[in-house]
Structure 1
Amino acid sequence: MDVVSQWLAVALALLSALCLAVGTQKQGSAVADRTHGRLTPRALMTLLGNHRWLLGLGLLGLGTALNVAALGLATVTVVQPIGVVALVITTLLHARHRRLRINRRTWAAIGLCTAGGAVFVTCAVAATDPAHGISAWAERTVVVMLVVLVCVLGVAAALFRHGLGGTFYVVAAGILYGFVAVLVRLTITRIQGSAGGPLDDVNWLAIGAAAVAAALGGWFLQTAFASGPPDLVIAGLTVIDPMVGVLLGLLVLGEAGPGFSVLTGVLMTLAGGVAIVGVAVLSQHHPEVLARRAELAHRDRHAPSRPGP
């Protein structure tokens, strides 16, 4: 039954990835059309009346619900890496929407991300113990780490908002969502194992920390949409989010099962490295990134020269 549950979780995670991909493309294109490289609270308020943005929000909500259902059946280590499928779908949808021609290096980058993610999830399924119980100490450790992280990232975004690029917001959102996924999994496990009422053993501090982190991650995500193509944003998220979840699952929550070995760890590390290289290649050679770079170079060449002192 445990194997069946894990593969059912994989199926739900795939459906979640589909919803997240379409929702990301819809929201990303809506944000890019309404902003000029930087998201402001006023611009966000105007997006609340944009039907495309609201459709994307609904799809992201559905994708999140499916992901939560998957986390109720399998560990974070199994569920989170599957989100890399969203990268392929988002890239194809965005290229069609913008009428972009996907170049060879972009396809190569997508291949690296997908191959790395596939190997990663295969190793994760074999290496984790879905029946492993999580200690209260481990849960408190994750909550404390997240509270510190929210404070650090929130302060950094407030103090240096004019000097931070899209990469910061993608990485920050991916890290926060990785922690949120872990806390969602822990909350579901507590509810399923409660001897009394379903809410008797719920850690409300964990829920509160996850809610704040999800809200801050959502702002970071919308800001990233304003400064880069949605497929590049989803590429960063689908690599960073699962890596954070897996590291927390293996190192803090102790989800490593008897199938975890040194060889498995090496394979997962190499697969993660391949996926990161794919994101790096995509960030440099995506057709929309190249077009923006060429536009900026053209502006610099034709900008009026300033008189000397």
Structure 2
Amino acid sequence: MTALALLLAVAGAACFACAAVLQHGAIAPRSKVDLRELLAHPRWLAGAGLAAGGAGLHALALVLAPVSVVQPVGVLAVPLAVALGLRGSRLPKRVVGGVALCVAGVALVVRTAAAATPDAPADLGRFLLVSGTAAATVGLALAVLAARTNGRIRCVAFAAGGAVAFGLVSALLRAVSVQFATADPATLLGAAAALAVALAAGGWLVQQGFAAGPPAVVVATLTVVDPFVATGLGAGLLGEAGGLGPAGMAFLLGAGAVATAGVALLARHHPEAAPRPTPTERRTPKEVPT
């Protein structure tokens, strides 16, 4: 089952990478995301379909294996998105280095988390309350930061906010799959509502990220922050970190630092990551010296 789950997760990562490039291509000419315009754009709709397919594959993988094993596999979308976004162009060495750091950091998380011995999971109702509150607080803070900044920081902050929401979705799907038979109907209904809200909020934040920067940076941020949020919730509330101990947790934090450094390199040195002019700057002609 674990091997099948990993295969599904890899296929989902490929779908996400292709979806990111397609949706960025539809959004990038705009300074703001207009949902009505995007719904009439065939390229964006194709990307949305791929994203939905990737999400379905990923969700099925989460039913078959622990979140701490499945979730980090999504980092494979980073090199795919870079290759697709810069096809025909020579990759800068620092961009390649950023991709390598992202993949290495998340791979270390997989290896460490997979070695843990699951404990008894937390009650689904408690998990929903604690994880939902924490994710909403962090996600809102990142959205506010993005709204008050521009350029690289805006792109990364919006993508990170979306990643927090998607990380919550992954962990919540795993919690529901494990405790579906024992949870009461009211709790399951609350979990379904939380999933819908988190998916909608995450999707909106990611589209804003595409409008502010290149798809590779958005995908890198998603695939680094998302698994750490999901793995953290899995470790803290789903009992998936038994046996790690302080040394294991410190190793996970170190792996997170490596992956974060990779995102920073991509955001700084990606050829499409230069700050874009605002609509006012695009409309204002340059002064001609006399």
Is 1:289 matched up with 2:277? no
Report the Cα offset of residue 53 of structure 1: 1.0
- 1:1-309 pair list within 5 angstroms: 5-33=1-29, 35=30, 38-41=31-34, 44-96=35-87, 99-129=88-118, 132-135=120-123, 136-148=125-137, 156=144, 161=147, 163=149, 165-191=154-180, 193-194=181-182, 200=185, 203-258=188-243, 260-290=244-274, 303-304=286-287
**CA separation in 1, counterparts of 2:84 and 2:100?**
16
Residues 39 and 222, structure 1, Cα contact 8 Å, conserved in 2 = no
Residues 100 and 287, structure 1, Cα contact 8 Å, conserved in 2 = no
Report the Cα offset of residue 139 of structure 1: 3.5
Residues 122 and 237, structure 2, Cα contact 8 Å, conserved in 1 = no
Report the Cα offset of residue 106 of structure 1: 0.5
Q: How many residues align?
A: 280
C-alpha distance 125-102 of structure 1, shift in aligned 2 (>3 A): same
**CA separation in 1, counterparts of 2:253 and 2:79?**
22
Residues 175 and 244, structure 1, Cα contact 8 Å, conserved in 2 = yes
Question: Which secondary structure does the structure 2 equivalent of 1:254 belong to?
Answer: coil
Question: Structure 1, unaligned stretches of length 5 or more?
Answer: none
C-alpha distance 106-274 of structure 1, shift in aligned 2 (>3 A): same
Question: Which secondary structure does the structure 2 equivalent of 1:134 belong to?
Answer: coil
Question: Which secondary structure does the structure 1 equivalent of 2:59 belong to?
Answer: helix
C-alpha distance 254-217 of structure 1, shift in aligned 2 (>3 A): same
The alignment-based identity, stated in percent, is 35
**Root-mean-square deviation over aligned CA pairs:** 2.7
**CA separation in 1, counterparts of 2:117 and 2:53?**
27
Report the Cα offset of residue 266 of structure 1: 2.6
Q: Which moved more, 1:116-125 or 1:273-282?
A: 116-125
Report the Cα offset of residue 138 of structure 1: 3.1
C-alpha distance 120-176 of structure 1, shift in aligned 2 (>3 A): same
TM-score w.r.t. length of structure 1: 0.81
**CA separation in 2, counterparts of 1:152 and 1:280?**
19
**CA separation in 2, counterparts of 1:106 and 1:270?**
21
C-alpha distance 151-276 of structure 1, shift in aligned 2 (>3 A): closer
Residues 183 and 207, structure 1, Cα contact 8 Å, conserved in 2 = no
Report the Cα offset of residue 177 of structure 1: 1.1
**CA separation in 2, counterparts of 1:305 and 1:266?**
57
C-alpha distance 152-168 of structure 1, shift in aligned 2 (>3 A): closer
Question: Structure 2, unaligned stretches of length 5 or more?
Answer: none
